[in-house]
Chain A
């Protein structure tokens, strides 16, 4: 009986609690900042920074990880309306950043950017991705370049070398295939856009940019040609089975595929698989398809770390962001993951990565925002569906492009 009473009491209290809303808390002084992120796997890397940040600014972070990106983003947006706002949170550049910045809730980081560019901690090239209506919001959480990872042993056995031109790359692919190795990795889930992005950037970067801004159509001859080229590579047997769900790192390691186009964050995967940079695997800048272009096009990815104007302790959050872009924080942060840093002063412990960074920042290379961020979400969703369907039936490329364009038409008719 007593137990029953207890149950009833608990339920009654629950309902009462449900009815009595409590007022919002005033701003407080925080020493631990909750860092909400969609990269749950990076928890240990976030935590590694705490010793230094505690010493230097008296603040530490506590990562709150999510993995399913759509759920994460809806959750963060919803939190803007509640008193449970994150101290810090990761986001996406492109239209996603624009979306939240225009609500006026995201903290302005213009000062951090101005000082950072002046002191050399931040680069002007990256700034534009963090600019909405002339002001800056958030700071770079991470930066990655999209390059080709390859298995050195497989390359040596097949007698091929790092290519310097598209023709070289195709010749390599031919040799690798003859050697019994699938030259390139591709997938039909999420990262299905990678080859589209690469081929289009290497053929006509202007068209790539025009597509992202709605000035060009997916049914334009230039885009159709790119799809035909992709199909051609599939037909020649250069591409891996897009339906294979095996982790690309495992495929590269086993030598089942020779090359994986990926962001430099793929280095983290390689080290988890005990692959050593320089001896087990290498990276190269993917050459342009069109040799007459004056600069090599490279896809570039950056994710923001943001705070809110009404964060629990806005001062502390901004202080942390300012510290974040500095050299000490960035050295630990990028080297622990063996990825590029947004801070040009940081030198990598991996010579490969240093060379790559140098190339990416030289005048012979031009960076373009990754397709995933460049395309507005509804268009991106339609495109990922379209590429997935294309990979299942390569003959249907025209139909897929029409479908994507339909979504683009609808989007751009409302967002001009």
Chain B
């Protein structure tokens, strides 16, 4: 087992090092003063530290401030609600053994098969008709919906691994079907819920297209819409500025990854139940 452990570590370190190469390029060039960037020597770090200047420039040009509050709201509330809604559906299908469960599951999961780009215009038309356009609630709604199929899929398959006796025992103890869900199944699936939340959080945090199409006010629009202003031929923004902005805007997601790693660190074994 010791030798096995060494090999495992070695493989992970080598693969991890390869994975960090593009990250290195990102950092080196985001730290480079904007005006020094020439496209040559992208591998060599610059002697001057330009990250904060680059970011200040991005902040000024793109005016990221007003959109931060909304973006946090969307990327926390929507995945949270979406995960619960998805888990509820999965619970009904797997644990409560809903009739035609597979069909119901397909109905929810089927939401992922449509090409997103073609949903934008009809959604805009519908949102306009219902006053959801340029409305924080409307944004939460679409982001929640986008989060549901993934949650339903993961939770459905996660629940199949939980012994049915868990449910029966809870019912015998007098728990209602909802209590069994809320008090037993949800706590049991924290790692799965967290994984889905992280993935959806990242999706919402990095979303550009729904934000652009369904909102216009800078206090409603998510942050990527402001950030994208830096990235066009007419912008004249230097590459380090774009990278620095991208880097700093990614920090909350990285922080979330790090903060939740503990949940995946140990084998929380369902066999214990």
Interface residues of A (CB under 8 A from B): 1, 4, 7, 10-11, 14, 17-22, 34, 36, 39-44, 62, 64-68, 71, 74-75, 78-79, 81-84, 190-191, 244, 246-247, 249-251, 253-254, 256, 265-266, 268-274
Contacts and interface: CB of A to CB of B under 8 A. Distances in A.
Contacts, number: 133
Contacts of B124: 75, 78-79, 82
Contacts of A39: 232, 234
A246 B61 CA distance: 21
A41 B61 contact: yes
Nearest to B145: A14
Nearest to A244: B39
A71 B213 CA distance: 8
B233 interface: yes
Interface string B23-37: 000000000001101
Interface in B84-133: 84-85, 120-121, 124-126, 128-133
A16 to B, nearest CB: 10
Interface in B164-190: 178, 182
A78 B85 contact: no
Given A250-B38, A254-B38, A4 B229 contact: no
Given A36-B216, A265-B234, A269-B236, A256 B40 contact: yes
Interface of B: 34-35, 37-40, 60-63, 81, 84-85, 120-121, 124-126, 128-134, 137, 141, 178, 182, 209, 212-213, 216-218, 225, 228-239
Q: Is the interface of B mostly helix, strand, loop or mixed?
A: helix
A111 to B, nearest CB: 29
B134 A40 contact: no
B40 to A, nearest CB: 6
Interface SS of chain A: helix, strand, loop or mixed?
helix
A43 B63 contact: yes
A67 B182 contact: no
A107 to B, nearest CB: 20
Nearest to A83: B128
Nearest to B122: A78
Contact of A250 (B63, B132, B239): B239
A11 B131 contact: no
Contacts of B84: 4, 7
A15 to B, nearest CB: 10
Nearest to A303: B234
A190 B235 CA distance: 15
A39 B128 CA distance: 24
B233 A17 contact: no
Contacts of A68: 212, 228
Given A71-B209, A272-B237, A78 B133 contact: no
A81 B127 CA distance: 12
A64 B235 CA distance: 15
A253 B38 contact: yes
Nearest to B57: A272
A190 B131 contact: no
A84 B133 contact: yes
Given A250-B38, A254-B39, A18 B130 contact: yes
Given A22-B131, A246-B239, A256-B38, 4 more contacts: A41-B236, A65-B229, A191-B233, A254-B39
B131 A17 contact: yes
Contact of B212 (A66, A78, A249, A256): A66
B123 to A, nearest CB: 10
Given A18-B130, A64-B216, A44 B39 contact: no
Contacts of B134: 84
Contact of B130 (A20, A34, A36, A64): A20
B128 A272 contact: no
Contact of A10 (B81, B130, B178, B230): B81
Contacts of B126: 18
A249 B40 CA distance: 13
B128 A82 contact: yes
B121 A75 contact: yes
Contacts of B235: 40-41, 269
B81 A41 contact: no
Contacts of B137: 14, 17
A119 B167 CA distance: 83
Nearest to B232: A67
A187 to B, nearest CB: 10
Given A17-B132, A39-B234, A250 B229 contact: no
A44 B132 contact: no
B120 A71 contact: yes
A373 to B, nearest CB: 15
A40 B85 contact: no
Contacts of A256: 38-40
A23 to B, nearest CB: 10
B129 A251 contact: no
12 contacts: A4-B84, A7-B84, A18-B126, A39-B234, A40-B229, A41-B234, A42-B234, A44-B63, A67-B231, A251-B39, A253-B38, A274-B35
